Amino acid sequence: MQHFCKILTFICLLFSQCDMRGQNVPFVSGEEYQIRCLEWPGAAVSPRNDDSRAIVCSAAGPAAGNWWRITQKSDGKFLLQNTATGRYLTYDGQRTSIRRYVYLSTTDHGDLSRWHIGIRTTGISVSNCVHGNHYLNVRRGSYIVGTYAETSLSLTSNERFFLVNRKGQVVNELNGRKLVLPATCYSNAKKSLAAVPTMVSSKSAAGTRCHAPASLLTFTIDKKRPVLTVGTDKYLYAVSERKLNGSIDVRLDVVPPFEGQLHVDGFPVGRHGKYTFTHAGCARYFRLSLTDKAGDTVATARLQFTALPIVEITASGLSKQKFNNGSFHLHDPESSGADSVLSAQFRHRGSYTSLLSKKSYGMKLVDATGRKLNRSLLGMRSDNYWVLDALAVDPARMRNRVAMDLWGDMATRPYYAGSAPDVRTAVRGRLVEVFENGSYRGIYNLTERVDRKQVQIAPSKKGKVRGCLYKSRNWDSWTLLGMNRHTGRPIGQKPPHYDNTAISWGNWESKYPEPNGRDKTDWRPLYDACAFVGTAGDKEFCREVENVFDLPVVADYYLFIELIHAVDNSGKNMYWAVYDASKSHKLTPVPWDLDGTFGRDWGGHRSNCRADNDYRRFLLNGSMQNALFERLEILNAADWHKLLANRYRKLRRTHFNPESLYGRFAAYHHLLQESGAEHRESRKWNRSNGISFDFEGENAYLKKWIRDRVKYLDHRYGYK
């Protein structure tokens, strides 16, 4: 008899479950419902006990806080009001330790308190009516209920929900459309109204198995690990640009102790971990999940692809004053081998930019003993010193790179190129994405630096100075080669005396040689040049200027900074190089730090950067005109006007063509956009230090500014 009762009880339970699933339960506007998450069907969305504005997913039960009056308005939008508190689920975009972009408001805030309820493959989604890509989400681990700016084509189980009415029935129809729901939704519905299960991966006192939150999945792609943003489930992996919008064939391997069936966006990964990703551009997220033998999800992660190399740096206590020890890890999308981790030293760099939130870095590679270690990075020269330029003042995040690329392509080779065939007066670089201590830092420009090796000047020999490299540090009469900044005329007096044991003179810094107590520099070539420009008579200037300066390169430099309207590079932010002072003191210019260009100033503003500006007048009005440029223009020394006009005509047919110029920006914009880097950069830094991002708008501005600038210069130089 006892055995018969058990069988009868089992049959009744079985039929009741079948009846529950087969029964038509439509959504009724204005009724009260529990909002349950597919990942934890035995838990309900409710206010926190210690803060009625914040929301969590906690064990379901009959408590009033677990119930919501859900009303569909005439426009199809939904209003969600908590029964216990009378508060409304409202988007506010605020993230705190216990809230994620939503809160429970005491009043109805219109569309911020309105939600779209969509039917998914299984379950429903809840997204805000103002911020349509923000979907209701239960954070794994903390169970905080908030929204997440979702870009994936599919939602995971912690972003899909179902409704349970006061009778313990699961809603399976919404506005005439059937809902597909897992069996666990039905099996947990009535049960959890009466008995509150504990959210642990064990059996409760009632014997009911409850689902534990899934862990963070760790995995490799082609035996390389993707880069994890610390504190999230988001991974980033670098692939070549040609693969990004095609097919990415990879091998996925789960890192122990995990094991089970791996899925990507719900599709099982094949044998030996082989999988093909498609349409991976534009910040698309792929959802990876691992299921155990019972079919339960035990680990999850999200994956994005980028065509930019990824740089990971680890260091602590960084400042501008000194280098601190750390490590450097480059993920090169063109390399099939394992990415190596190198020891390195870092410091912040830049005068103005070091004050901004997004920092630039100087980096020295070192070996295990702390000695310098030369490495070639991304096809650039082999060296131990590298620069990670934050591009922090540029809303396009590419001006410095584009301008330097342009100079490298157009510049006449310096006068000593026959003796130094490998000379480069432009630094090469690559746009990369940087992580510091696991935190995403954004788009950077990884570059070589201007030094003796780059410009190939003669090294000192047996204590005798030969090659010299000088870098300007600030605006000054002598960084402007003898210009009286008040009158806009040559200063008419000799420069101050110099000391070859000092690293600086007249707001210049000796970058090679660097005086150190044992070695000296030679300030004489720069001193003589400043004295010559600042004091020489007109006839002497016209006669000798070609012997003092590398005029073909000077002409290119002037046309270059005039074209790009460089606001900070006519004396400051530049170098002068001397190949061998024992043979000639002739100086050739080398550019640096070209953020304040192409219609933006050094602070990233458009003010006073009109495309039709007379550049000479602009520099004079700003007390930034270089005495060399001014005297060449006024005196037409060395037939300066003809030199500029002829050179402009030649460049106009090639590098100064407006389509060619904008094409450089368009190519980088496409790369950053397709890689999702623009999206990530905007999320990280939008409105930081007063800089807002509109990459499409900025590129439209650049296109028009370049067209108008070239049109103005065509008129100036008589180009037809």
Residues 513 and 579 in one domain: yes
Is 414 within a domain? no
Most confident by average pLDDT, 48-57, 184-193, 706-715: 706-715
Q: How wide is the angle at C-alpha 525 spanned by C-alphas 522 and 526, nearest 5°? A: 95
Cis peptide leading into residue 513 (ω within 30°): yes
Q: How far apart are CA 290 and CA 219, in angstroms?
A: 11
707 and 700 in contact (C-beta within 8 Å)? Answer: no
Tokens for 370, please give them: 């702390």
Going by C-alpha positions, the residue among 110, 65, 113 that lies closest to residue 89 is 113
CATH code of residue 181:
2.80.10.50
Is 412 within a domain? no
21-76 tens-digit pLDDT? 558 899 999 999 999 999 888 889 999 988 888 999 987 677 788 999 999 999 99
pLDDT of 214 reads 63
Going by C-alpha positions, the residue among 502, 494, 471, 463 that lies closest to residue 582 is 463
| Chain mean position to CA 8 | 64
21 and 178 in contact (C-beta within 8 Å)? Answer: no
pLDDT of 126 reads 96
Residues 167 and 251 in one domain: no
Tokens for 433, please give them: 């994405």
Residues 380 and 236 in one domain: no
The residue from 277, 306, 335 where one domain ends is 306
Model confidence at 130: pLDDT above 50: yes
Mean of the pLDDT values across residues 164-171? 92
Residues 542 and 647 in one domain: yes
Q: What is the DSSP letter of 209?
A: B
Model confidence at 632: pLDDT above 60: yes
Residues 242 and 114 in one domain: no
Strand (E) or helix (H) holding 47:
strand 40-47
Tokens for 626, please give them: 């270089």
Amino acid identity of residue 639, one-letter, is D
pLDDT of 207 reads 35
316-330 tens-digit pLDDT? 999 999 999 999 999
pLDDT of 17 reads 43
Q: Give strand ranges (E) for 286-407.
A: 286-291, 297-306, 310-315, 324-331, 341-349, 360-365, 375-376, 382-383, 385-389
Amino acid identity of residue 79, one-letter, is L
The crossing angle, in degrees rounded to 10, of helices 399-410 and 551-563 is 150
Range of the domain at 234: 215-306
Residues 601 and 480 in one domain: yes
Is 132 within a domain? yes
Model confidence at 196: pLDDT above 60: no
pLDDT of 6 reads 44
Is 633 within a domain? yes
Tokens for 502, please give them: 């000092």
Who contacts 520 (Cβ-Cβ below 8 Å, separation ≥6)?
465, 500, 501, 513
The residue from 268, 284, 306 where one domain ends is 306
340 and 331 in contact (C-beta within 8 Å)? Answer: no
Residues 161 and 241 in one domain: no
Mean of the pLDDT values across residues 155-175? 92
pLDDT of 192 reads 56
Domain count, the chain: 4
Name the more confident of 182 and 440: 440
Who contacts 660 (Cβ-Cβ below 8 Å, separation ≥6)?
654
635-681 tens-digit pLDDT? 999 999 999 999 999 999 999 999 999 999 999 999 999 999 999 99
The residue from 286, 306, 326 where one domain ends is 306
With a pLDDT cut of 90, the percent of the chain lying above it is 74
Residues 567 and 501 in one domain: yes
pLDDT of 162 reads 95
Residues 630 and 679 in one domain: yes
pLDDT of 191 reads 57
Confidence of residue 142 (pLDDT cuts 50, 70, 90): confident
Is 135 within a domain? yes
Residues 464 and 603 in one domain: yes
Write b or e for each residue in 562-577: b if 16 or more Cβ atoms lie within 10 A of its Cβ, otherwise e. bbbbbbbbbbbbbbbb
- Report the mean per-residue pLDDT for the chain: 90
Residues 95 and 189 in one domain: yes
567-619 tens-digit pLDDT? 999 999 999 999 999 999 999 999 999 999 999 999 999 989 999 999 999 99
Is 225 within a domain? yes
386-429 tens-digit pLDDT? 999 999 999 999 999 999 999 999 999 999 999 999 999 999 99
Residues 567 and 489 in one domain: yes
Model confidence at 274: pLDDT above 90: yes
Mean of the pLDDT values across residues 122-127? 94
Q: How many CA atoms lie within 13 A of 161 on its CB side?
A: 23
The crossing angle, in degrees rounded to 10, of helices 627-635 and 551-563 is 100
Name the more confident of 351 and 317: 317
DSSP-H helix ranges across 252-398? none
With a pLDDT cut of 70, the percent of the chain lying above it is 92
Mean of the pLDDT values across residues 552-573? 97
Q: How far apart are CA 265 and CA 244, in angstroms?
A: 18
pLDDT of 476 reads 94
pLDDT of 562 reads 98
